[in-house]
Amino acid sequence: MKRCIVTFTLGTALACGVFAPATNSQVPSGRDVVKPEVYASMEPAGRGGSFQIAVVMNIRPGFHVNAREKSEEYLIATDLKAQPPTGFTAGEVVYPKGKLETFTFSKKPLNVYQGKVVLLLPVNVLATAPLGEQHIPLKLRYQACNNEFCLPPATIPLEATVNIAASSTNAKPAHAEVFVNR
């Protein structure tokens, strides 16, 4: 059985070009196209200190998502939101620069992310933060597209887990493979 993919706005349809009929088994969901991983830069982090949360977006080959700085007003930008619990404050997310790419459906290049992308969120640990394992809820929103169609926007709930020690002198760097040179 064949069907056409439905988009949310005319702007999205224009940005993504002509929609090709496809069977349900051939069209992935946005959740299947982007596989996020979450890391904390300290383990443990200490009261009175700070750390970073990295959300690594692994984007399936052949697909892209719009960068945070979108090329056109109607495009859906990548967005990361934190809901820090009591004892934590979050700073502004640091988004990488996108790459201008030309696609068959667009006359002008679009600012997109492809491959592996790292979003960084600075977090302060207040002196009153609870000790032990803590969870920081996150929401990642994006829209994945390829050269033929765009998938509906996806919002994925994520969670950063970090242990909190009594003092920042107890903090130890973690996940150097993600945080070194960032």
Structural domains in the chain (count)? 1
Higher pLDDT, 61 or 74: 61
Does some domain include residue 84? yes
* Residues 100-132: tens digit of each pLDDT: 998 887 888 999 999 999 999 999 999 999 999
Element (H, E) at 122: strand 116-125
DSSP single-letter state for residue 7: -
Question: Could you tell me the residue range of the domain that residue 82 belongs to?
Answer: 10-168
Q: Is residue 154 part of a domain?
A: yes
CATH of the domain at 89: 2.60.40.1250
| Chain-centre distance for alpha carbon 39 | 12
The percentage of the chain sitting over the pLDDT mark of 90, rounded to a whole number, equals: 71
The verdict on residue 68 lying in a domain is yes
The reply to whether 176 falls in a domain is: no
Instruction: Report yes or no on 182 lying in a domain.
Output: no
Does residue 180 lie in a domain region? no
Cβ atoms within 10 Å of 174's Cβ, excluding its own:
18
Spell out the residues 6+ positions from residue 43 whose beta carbon is closer than 8 angstroms to its own.
162, 163, 172, 174, 175
Judge whether 174 lies within some domain: no
Q: Cα(56)–Cα(90) distance, rounded to whole angstroms?
A: 18
Share in percent of the chain as helix, strand, coil (round to 5): 10, 40, 50
For residue 4, tell me if it sits in a domain: no
Answer whether residue 9 shows pLDDT above 90.
no
- Residues 160-176 have pLDDT tens digits of 999 999 999 999 999 99
pLDDT at residue 5 is higher than 60: no
